[in-house]
């Protein structure tokens, strides 16, 4: 289980995402990728090092004020570009740390609803499930990405830290956690999320640790957290120590 970073800012988040992934490299990984919203969903993935992903991102001139990124340690599906995160469903993208235990059952249901799978991962089921909740193919159509993620997670069994963006909501980053670590930080230019506080340090050492069952909506000026019962909650801000490596 490797790394997640995400950000929604008043400026280009690409340098933060790549720096964050580099900070998490010591944990080991087999591939890396990121997705940015900038007049639509833009994605780049690589089975090489984060620095090689950076070269690809430069070549494609990717940038955006909101994005998610991931280093993968494969649990379902071989290390390959098609299995690297982010996984997409239409214009929605997801990064995930952890394991979705009921992925086979979800894959059968979502394939039956017409979703086409392009990877062997458990994670791709999450992308299609959230899209299905947004579209009203599972339950009633959700009015927002935040509500779609809230509608989707009760269907997931296993451990996850998730970060999700959708081109139709280019100012919203949604994250959720159950069993895998995830934390938020507020910087001068916006809000940040990561699976490890070290990945936030380039922007902030003031960190809010999400609890199991929490789902958060991040925008440039605001963060909203709901707990597993759907109650609006706040989480204490702690100061993370300086990097020792
Ligand atoms: N289970 C997912 C996969 O195999 C995520 C692995 C991870 O945490 O990096 O793609």
Contact present, 14 and 35 (Cβ < 8 Å): no
Q: What are the residue boundaries of the structural domains of the chain, listed by start?
A: 3-239
Question: What is the structure's pLDDT at 166?
Answer: 98
With a 6 Å cutoff on the Cβ, whether 80 touches ligand 1 is no
Q: What is the pLDDT of residues 5-21, one digit of tens each?
A: 999 999 999 999 999 99
With a 6 Å cutoff on the Cβ, whether 73 touches ligand 1 is yes
Best of 123, 159, 181 to mutate for ligand 1, by most ligand atoms within 8 A of CB? 123
**Model confidence at 245, in pLDDT bands (50, 70, 90)?**
low
CA 108 – CA 191 distance, rounded (Å): 36
Question: What is the structure's pLDDT at 1?
Answer: 58
- What is the DSSP secondary-structure string of 155-209? G--EEEEEEEEETT-TT-EEEEEEBS--EEEE-SSEEEEESSGGGGTTT-SEEEE
**Model confidence at 241, in pLDDT bands (50, 70, 90)?**
confident
Establish how many alpha carbons lie within 13 A of residue 21's alpha carbon, considering only the half-sphere containing its beta carbon: 32
CA 56 – CA 136 distance, rounded (Å): 36
Residue 66 has pLDDT above 80, yes or no: yes
Question: What is the structure's pLDDT at 48?
Answer: 85
With a 6 Å cutoff on the Cβ, whether 2 touches ligand 1 is yes
Angle made by CA atoms 86, 123, 104, in degrees to the nearest 5: 155
Residue 71 has pLDDT above 90, yes or no: yes
Q: Structure pTM? A: 0.97
CA 245 – CA 238 distance, rounded (Å): 20
Q: What does the pLDDT average to over 46-69? A: 97
Question: What is the structure's pLDDT at 211?
Answer: 98
With a 6 Å cutoff on the Cβ, whether 123 touches ligand 1 is yes
With a 6 Å cutoff on the Cβ, whether 121 touches ligand 1 is yes
Contact present, 215 and 146 (Cβ < 8 Å): yes
**Model confidence at 242, in pLDDT bands (50, 70, 90)?**
confident
Q: Which of ligand 1's atoms lies nearest the C-alpha of 76?
A: 4
With a 6 Å cutoff on the Cβ, whether 72 touches ligand 1 is yes
CA-to-CA separations, 125 to 19, 131, 188, 189, in angstroms, rounded: 28, 10, 35, 32
Q: What does the pLDDT average to over 72-101? A: 98
Work out the mean pLDDT of the chain and round it to a whole number. Answer: 96
Collect all residues with Cβ–Cβ distance below 8 Å to 144 and sequence separation of at least 6: 169, 172
Q: Which of ligand 1's atoms lies nearest the C-alpha of 3?
A: 9
Ligand 1 geometric centre to CA of 74 (Å): 5
CA 89 – CA 129 distance, rounded (Å): 9
Residue 167 has pLDDT above 80, yes or no: yes
Q: What does the pLDDT average to over 119-146? A: 97
Q: Which helix (H) or strand (E) holds 147?
A: helix 145-152
Question: What is the structure's pLDDT at 135?
Answer: 97
Q: What are phi and psi of 154, to 5 degrees?
A: -65, -15
Question: What is the structure's pLDDT at 77?
Answer: 97
CATH numeric code, 3-239 = 3.60.20.10
Q: What does the pLDDT average to over 25-31? A: 94
**Model confidence at 244, in pLDDT bands (50, 70, 90)?**
low
Q: Which of ligand 1's atoms lies nearest the C-alpha of 29?
A: 9
Collect all residues with Cβ–Cβ distance below 8 Å to 112 and sequence separation of at least 6: none
SS (H, E, C) 56-89: HHHHCCCCCCEEEEEEECCCCCCCCHHHCCCEEE
């Amino acid at each position: 289980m490797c790394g997640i970073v995400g950000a929604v800012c008043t400026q280009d988040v690409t340098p933060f995402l790549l720096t964050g992934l580099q900070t998490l490299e010591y944990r080991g990984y087999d591939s890396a990728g990121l997705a940015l919203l900038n007049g639509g969903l833009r994605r780049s993935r690589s089975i090489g090092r984060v620095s090689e992903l950076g070269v690809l991102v430069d070549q494609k001139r990717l940038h955006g004020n909101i994005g998610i990124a991931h280093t993968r340690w494969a649990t379902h599906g071989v290390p390959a570009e098609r299995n690297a995160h982010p996984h997409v469903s239409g214009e929605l993208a997801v990064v995930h740390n952890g394991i979705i235990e009921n992925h086979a059952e979800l894959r059968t249901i979502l394939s039956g609803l017409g979703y086409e799978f392009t990877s062997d991962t458990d994670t791709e089921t999450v992308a299609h499930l959230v899209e299905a909740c947004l579209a009203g193919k599972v339950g009633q159509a959700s009015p927002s990405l935040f509500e779609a993620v809230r509608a989707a997670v009760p269907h997931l069994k296993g451990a996850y830290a998730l970060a999700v963006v959708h081109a139709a909501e280019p100012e919203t980053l949604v994250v959720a956690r159950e069993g895998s670590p995830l934390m938020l930080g507020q910087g001068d230019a916006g809000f940040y999320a990561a699976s490890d506080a070290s990945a936030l340090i380039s922007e902030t050492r003031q960190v809010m640790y999400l609890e199991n069952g929490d789902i958060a909506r991040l925008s440039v000026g605001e963060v909203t957290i709901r707990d597993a019962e759907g109650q609006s909650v706040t989480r204490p801000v702690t100061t993370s120590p300086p990097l020792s490596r």
